A and B are shown apart, each in its own frame.
Chain A
Amino acid sequence: MDVEFQHISKNFGSVKALTDVSLTARSGTIHGLIGENGAGKSTLMKILTGYQSKSSGSILLDGVEVQLNNPGQASEFGIGMLYQEPMDFPPLTVLENFSLGTPHQSRQELHFALKTLSIRFGFDLNPDRPVELLTVGERQQIELLRLIHCSIKVLVLDEPTTGISPAQKEALFPALKQLAADGMTILLVSHKLEEVANLCSEVTVLRHGKLTHHTTAPFHFPKLLTAMFGFVPKRSDRSDTRDTGPPILIFKDIEASGERQGLHRCNLTIAEGEVIGLAGLDGAGQSTFLRLAAGLISPDQGKVILFSDPLPYGAKASIRAQELHTAFIPADRLEESLFARISLRDHFSLREEHGMFWQSRTETRKRAEEAIATFSIKGTPEDLAEDLSGGNQQRLLLSLLNRNSRLILLENPTRGLDIQSGQWIWQHLRDELSPDTTIIFSSPELDEILHYCDRIIVFHDGLIVLDSAVPETSHDAIAAVMTGIRESAP
Chain B
Amino acid sequence: MMGDLSLPMLIASVLAASAPLIIIALGETLAEKSGVINLSLDGAVLFAAMAAFVVARETDSLLFGFFAGGCAGMLTGVIVGYFSIYLHLSQVAVGFALSLLCRDLAYFLGNPYSRVQGPTMLNSKLPFYDSLPSSLQIILTQPLTVWLALLLVAVIYYFFSFSKAGLCLRSVGENPAASFARGLNPAKIQMLAVLGGAFLVGIGGAAYSLSLKPGWGRPQGAEGIGWIGLALVIFGGWNPIRVALGAMLFAFLQVSGIGLQDLFPGIPSQVFQTAPFPLMIFTLIFMHYSTSRSRKQGYSSGRLQRIAGKLFMSRAPKGLGQSYRQE
Contact = CB atoms under 8 A, between A and B. Distances in A.
A–B touch (CB < 8 A): the answer is yes
Contact of A72 (B162, B164, B177, B183): B183
A87 B185 contact: no
B5 interface: no
Interface string A18-57: 0000000000000000000000000000100101110000
Contact of B177 (A49, A87, A99): A87
A72 B175 contact: no
Interface size class on chain A is 20 to 34
Contact of A87 (B170, B182, B326, B327): B182
B195 to A, nearest CB: 21
A101 B179 CA distance: 8
B164 A71 contact: no
Q: Which of B164, B171, B181 has the most CB of A within 10 A?
A: B181
Given A51-B180, A87-B182, A92 B174 contact: yes
Contacts of B315: 91
B183 A75 contact: yes
B295 to A, nearest CB: 14
B178 interface: yes
A72 B184 contact: yes
Interface in A74-95: 74-75, 81, 83, 87-92
B181 A89 contact: no
B175 A87 contact: yes
Nearest to B185: A72
B222 interface: no
A70 B180 contact: yes
B174 A89 contact: yes
Given A51-B327, A53-B326, A72-B184, A100 B318 contact: no
Given A87-B175, A89-B178, A99 B170 contact: no
Contacts of A72: 183-185
Interface string B170-211: 110011011111111100000000000000000000000000
A235 interface: no
A96 B168 CA distance: 10
Nearest to B164: A104
A51 B181 CA distance: 6
By size class, the interface of chain B is: 20 to 34
Interface in A285-309: none
Contacts of B267: none
B151 interface: no
Interface string B145-166: 0000000000000000010100
B177 A100 contact: no
Interface string A88-124: 1111100010011100100100000000000000000
B182 A101 contact: yes
Nearest to B175: A89
Given A87-B175, A89-B175, A92-B174, A49 B181 contact: yes
Interface string B241-263: 00000000000000000000000
Contacts of A99: 164, 167
Given A51-B327, A91-B174, A81 B167 contact: no
Nearest to A89: B174
Contacts of B181: 49, 51, 71, 81, 83, 87
A90 to B, nearest CB: 7
A71 B180 CA distance: 7
B164 A87 contact: no
A344 B178 CA distance: 37
Contacts of A81: 181
Contact of A88 (B167, B178, B183, B327): B178
Contacts of A70: 180, 183, 185, 326
A96 B167 contact: yes
Given A51-B327, A87-B175, A101 B183 contact: yes
Given A53-B326, A90-B318, A91-B315, A100 B174 contact: no
B327 A71 contact: no
B322 to A, nearest CB: 15
A52 B174 contact: no
Contacts of A49: 181
A71 B324 CA distance: 14
Contacts of A107: 162
Nearest to B179: A100
Q: Residue among A51, A75, A89 with the most chain B CB within 10 A?
A: A89
B184 A101 contact: yes
A92 B319 CA distance: 14
A75 B168 CA distance: 17
Interface in B81-133: none
A161 to B, nearest CB: 20
Contacts of B178: 87-89
29 contacts: A46-B327, A51-B180, A51-B181, A51-B326, A52-B327, A70-B180, A70-B183, A70-B326, A71-B180, A71-B183, A72-B185, A75-B182, A75-B183, A87-B178, A87-B181, A87-B182, A89-B170, A89-B175, A90-B175, A91-B174, A92-B167, A92-B171, A99-B164, A100-B171, A100-B182, A100-B184, A101-B182, A101-B183, A101-B184
Interface of B: 162, 164, 167-168, 170-171, 174-175, 177-185, 315, 318, 326-327
Cβ-closest 8 pairs across A and B? A101-B182, A72-B183, A87-B178, A89-B174, A87-B181, A75-B183, A52-B327, A71-B183
Interface of A: 46, 49, 51-53, 70-72, 74-75, 81, 83, 87-92, 96, 99-101, 104, 107
Given A71-B182, A87-B175, A91-B174, 6 more contacts: A72-B185, A89-B175, A90-B174, A92-B167, A100-B184, A104-B164
